[in-house]
Amino acid sequence: MKHILIDTDAGVDDALAIIFALASPELAVEGITTVGGNIPVEPATRNVFTILDTLFPAVYPLVAEGAAAPLGRELETAAHVHGADGLGNISELRLADGSPKYPRTMHDLMDMTAADFIIEEAYRHGRNLTIIALGPLTNIAEAIRTSPTAMKGVGEIIIMGGAFRVYGNTSPVAEFNMYVDPEAAETVIGFDVPKTIVPLDVTEQVILLRSELEARFAANPSPVLEFARDVSGFYMDFHAHSDGFDGCYMHDPTTIALAINPSLARTVPAEVHVERQGEFTRGMTVADLRPERANRYHPNAQVCVEIDAKACLDLFFSKIAKSSQ
Spatial separation of the C-alpha atoms in residues 251 and 253, rounded to whole Å: 6
153 alpha carbon, distance to own chain's centre:
22
- For residues 303 and 197, is the Cβ–Cβ distance under 8 A? yes
> Exposed, middle or buried by CB within 10 Å (0-12, 13-18, 19+), for 172?
exposed
CA-nearest of 167, 199, 207 to 16 is: 207
Catalytic residue among 3, 251, 273, 298: 251
Q: Which helix (H) or strand (E) holds 138?
A: helix 138-146
CA-nearest of 189, 201, 203, 200 to 302 is: 189
Task: Calculate ∠ Cα 86-64-2, nearest 5°.
Answer: 95
Q: Is 251 known to be catalytic?
A: yes
| Helices 309-323 and 251-260: angle between axes, nearest 10 degrees | 80
Spatial separation of the C-alpha atoms in residues 302 and 136, rounded to whole Å: 19
DSSP 8-state class, residue 92: G
> Other CB atoms closer than 10 Å to residue 72's CB: what's the count?
9
Task: Calculate ∠ Cα 156-161-163, nearest 5°.
Answer: 125
> Other CB atoms closer than 10 Å to residue 241's CB: what's the count?
8
Spatial separation of the C-alpha atoms in residues 233 and 210, rounded to whole Å: 8
> Exposed, middle or buried by CB within 10 Å (0-12, 13-18, 19+), for 95?
exposed
Return the active site residues.
Answer: 251
